Structure 1
Amino acid sequence: MNPRALAKRVAFVGFASLIGVFFAVPMLWLVFAPFNGKPTLRATPSNPTFDNFRRVFERDDVLPALRNSIFLAVGAVAIVIAVAAPASYALSRIRFPGRDVFLYVLLLLSSVITGAAAILPLYLLMFGLDMIDTFHGVWLALAGGMLPTSIFILKDFTDSIPRSYEESARVFGASSFQALRHIVIPVIRPGLAVIGVWGIVQVWGNFLVPFILLRSADKSPAAVLMYSFADEAGRADLRSISAFALIYTLPILLLYWFVNKRYGFRFHGGIKR
């Protein structure tokens, strides 16, 4: 290896290491702080204890908040999959003028008009539909934000399925819905897994939409509850926050572990060639 190539490689490894350290420090805090008797913003282990977790579970609202998060995630992702699968199938098989432009514009708008930019019209819409402080209102709001990307991803999986599969089914009298159910969906299951994992992560970490649309304290998910951890003086209670943050992260880590074990993150759309 010549000196110039070696210098470039060393520079790249050094830069990648710095980026890795930058992202690793918060993870180290998440590992050490929950077991620290007096946690600070520094990621240093000291005074190991499990008392922080006891303090968290002494609260009556922790388990309901985790249950609400699961309820919101499962409901929103179920809506996304139920709508995105047939929509992506229709967009993949039916050609009409401007279809590709429509898909890219839909994806672009869903990426630009998000978060705080969309919360006011979203609130007014839910208020007009009388869906404020309802779980199904949050389901629809979260699912609507994820649908364009989900349809775009699933369409790529559906495009790779040979049309001859469906044509063979049609010869035997299968309808479009039967072809979707018995031929397309079993083949694009890895794509559905991608959408499922991505959607659950998006809903699980969403704070703004549930905070605005859910007014009752007993309906708050874990992402909203975390902001209520404070001591008598109104300061952030790092002992409870750190312990709850670790508890809050575990379901997502378990989900990634399960999907990695099941698929190995080697997702293929359509037929393997």
Structure 2
Amino acid sequence: MKLGKKTQERLYLAFCYTIILIGVIAVLYPTVWIVGSALNPNNSLFSSRIIPEGASLDNFRELLTHDEYPYLRWYWNTLKIASLNAIFSVVLTAGCAYAFSKFKFWGRKYGMITFLVIQMFPALMALVAIYVVLNMLGLLNTHTGLLLVYVGGAVPFSTWLLKGYFDTIPNSLSESALIDGASSFRIFWSIMLPLAKPMLAVVAMFQFVNPFNDFILANIILTSPSQRTLAVGLFNMVSNQFANDWTLFSAGAVLAGIPMMILFLSLQKYFVHGLSGAVKG
């Protein structure tokens, strides 16, 4: 039996809503579950209810005042590294991407190919080399050493993103500004950067989130407890078989997500436009 056009449209719409609903549940359930675990007064991740009986904020209070776990110190370390990583990555890659996009020079093509090839190799392959170099420079167990690794790894990927966006900006704008007597730096600062705000926001968000998510590099480079980031610190809270503070871990994970949520909500108006511009480029 052949279905009518309206029936087909309704079935298609119902199918789309079903897929969206499944996706929303898949994303929200782990979040609600970890929040429920943080509110659990017992030292267990499992409960018969999503929001456990006797839910309280005791885990958050204990986490912020715990003698063994300097959580606030880890929080500050991560915020500092994430903020500096976002700032330096945006500054370096904006100039680099603009040069690759708008200027003609020898090695331009091979430079972009090199950046692309570098992205094909995961950072873990260079882990030993990174450790040796930082040890030679005396930067092991320092935030400076970890920040250099993050920023260096961000340049190739972010440059490709920003170059694609700069390519969508008409050259006629810079040519008109040159005729009016504007310098190359003035064109870059006053015209190109304001137009590239959506993609700059995307790059900043990616690089801000990275130190919150990274565990392996931070765990190898930072060895003392006071220097740790949140990912390493939270792991050490549950790695001891004699003291698995799972509910404290959950509370710490919930608090760790707050800066990223605030930044995402603040910059969300730029994301769709920025990523669509990079795809077009």
- TM-score normalised over the length of structure 1: 0.85
Q: What is the aligned partner in structure 2 of residue 30 from structure 1?
A: 34
Q: What is the aligned partner in structure 2 of residue 40 from structure 1?
A: 45
Q: What is the aligned partner in structure 2 of residue 53 from structure 1?
A: 60
**What SS class does the counterpart of residue 145 from structure 1 fall into?**
helix
Q: How does 1:150-165 map to 2 (within 5 A)?
A: 150-165=158-173
| Structure 1 residue 162: Cα displacement | 2.2
Q: d(CA) in 1 for partners of 2:190 and 2:17?
A: 48
Q: d(CA) in 2 for partners of 1:158 and 1:209?
A: 31
**What SS class does the counterpart of residue 157 from structure 1 fall into?**
helix
Q: d(CA) in 1 for partners of 2:138 and 2:178?
A: 43
Q: d(CA) in 2 for partners of 1:171 and 1:117?
A: 49
Q: d(CA) in 2 for partners of 1:266 and 1:16?
A: 18
| Structure 1 residue 49: Cα displacement | 1.2
Return the match for 2:153 from 145, 153, 178.
Answer: 145
Q: How does 1:41-190 map to 2 (within 5 A)?
A: 41-42=46-47, 44-46=50-52, 47-59=54-66, 61-95=70-104, 99=108, 102-103=111-112, 106-110=115-119, 112-190=120-198
Q: Given that residues 231 and 237 in structure 1 are in contact (C-alpha distance below 8 angstroms), is that contact kept between their aligned partners in structure 2?
A: no
Q: d(CA) in 1 for partners of 2:20 and 2:240?
A: 43
Q: What is the aligned partner in structure 2 of residue 206 from structure 1?
A: 214
| Structure 1 residue 256: Cα displacement | 1.2
Structure 1: runs of 5 or more not aligned: none
The CA deviation string for residues 52-88 of structure 1, in whole angstroms up to 9 with x for no partner, is 1111011251111111001101111222111101111
Q: d(CA) in 1 for partners of 2:180 and 2:16?
A: 58
Mean Cα deviation higher: 53-62 or 229-238: 229-238
Opposite residue 48 of structure 1, the aligned amino acid is A
Q: d(CA) in 2 for partners of 1:12 and 1:167?
A: 46
Q: Given that residues 93 and 155 in structure 2 are in contact (C-alpha distance below 8 angstroms), is that contact kept between their aligned partners in structure 1?
A: yes
Backbone CA RMSD of aligned residues: 2.8
The verdict on how the C-alpha distance between 1:101 and 1:13 changes in structure 2, with shifts beyond 3 A counting, is: farther
Q: Given that residues 115 and 208 in structure 1 are in contact (C-alpha distance below 8 angstroms), is that contact kept between their aligned partners in structure 2?
A: no
Q: d(CA) in 1 for partners of 2:56 and 2:89?
A: 42
The verdict on how the C-alpha distance between 1:151 and 1:19 changes in structure 2, with shifts beyond 3 A counting, is: same
Q: d(CA) in 1 for partners of 2:16 and 2:172?
A: 47
Q: Given that residues 209 and 260 in structure 2 are in contact (C-alpha distance below 8 angstroms), is that contact kept between their aligned partners in structure 1?
A: yes
- TM-score normalised over the length of structure 2: 0.83
Q: d(CA) in 2 for partners of 1:231 and 1:106?
A: 37
| Structure 1 residue 102: Cα displacement | 4.7
Q: Percent identity?
A: 24
Q: d(CA) in 2 for partners of 1:34 and 1:49?
A: 9
**1:226 equivalenced with 2:234 (yes/no):** yes
The verdict on how the C-alpha distance between 1:227 and 1:11 changes in structure 2, with shifts beyond 3 A counting, is: same
Q: How many residues align?
A: 267
Q: d(CA) in 1 for partners of 2:273 and 2:64?
A: 38
Q: Given that residues 199 and 270 in structure 2 are in contact (C-alpha distance below 8 angstroms), is that contact kept between their aligned partners in structure 1?
A: no
**What SS class does the counterpart of residue 149 from structure 1 fall into?**
helix
**What SS class does the counterpart of residue 133 from structure 2 fall into?**
helix
| Structure 1 residue 169: Cα displacement | 2.9
Q: Given that residues 146 and 199 in structure 1 are in contact (C-alpha distance below 8 angstroms), is that contact kept between their aligned partners in structure 2?
A: yes
Structure 2: runs of 5 or more not aligned: none
Q: d(CA) in 1 for partners of 2:261 and 2:227?
A: 24
Q: d(CA) in 2 for partners of 1:89 and 1:231?
A: 45
Q: Given that residues 198 and 271 in structure 2 are in contact (C-alpha distance below 8 angstroms), is that contact kept between their aligned partners in structure 1?
A: no
Q: d(CA) in 1 for partners of 2:216 and 2:124?
A: 8
Q: Given that residues 201 and 270 in structure 2 are in contact (C-alpha distance below 8 angstroms), is that contact kept between their aligned partners in structure 1?
A: no
| Structure 1 residue 7: Cα displacement | 6.9
